[in-house]
Amino acid sequence: MRWNLRLTAANKGIWKASELQRSLAEHGLVISAGKMSGLWSGQPVSLKLDDLDVICVVLGCEISDLLIPEPQKVTRPGEENITRTAVGAAAPVPVVVPKRRDGRSLPPA
């Protein structure tokens, strides 16, 4: 998923994080400056559904305006990312995934 808060806010005439923060507080959602910075400038780590409702009310938008699906980023375990290269270009380096012989999984990287 891609977080699209900044563009959605801009479409509603809100250009600064502090403007949105004040509007959210007027609707009962008080957000710290640090969390607001994360919401405004990047991908939020976590967000309560109730908070998402308030954001949608303040911006007059739908959840689909804030969260854009990116299905092309989803791969199945064990699938290789195959990239095509132009003729004469260096071939992509294959991804090597080590496997244990006893069938157990490897620890996280």
Q: Could you write out the DSSP letters of every residue in 79-107?
A: --------TTSPPPPPPP----TTSPPPP
47: in domain: yes
Please give the tally of structural domains in the chain.
Answer: 1
Count the residues in the chain.
Answer: 109
Q: What is the pTM of this model?
A: 0.66
97: in domain: no
Q: What is the pLDDT along the chain (109 residues), one digit of tens a residue?
A: 899 999 999 999 999 999 999 999 999 999 999 899 999 988 888 889 999 999 999 999 999 999 999 888 888 777 665 555 566 666 666 666 666 677 776 666 6
Rounded Cα distance between 12 and 8, Å, is: 7
Backbone angles phi, psi at 16, to 5 degrees: -125, 145
What are the E-state strand segments in the chain?
2-3, 67-68
39: in domain: yes
105: in domain: no
Q: Give the CATH number for residue 60.
A: 1.10.260
Tell me which residue range forms the domain holding 8: 2-67
3-state secondary structure of 5: helix
DSSP code of residue 36:
H
74: in domain: no
- Tokens standing for residue 8: 């959605």
CB 4 within 8 A of CB 41: no
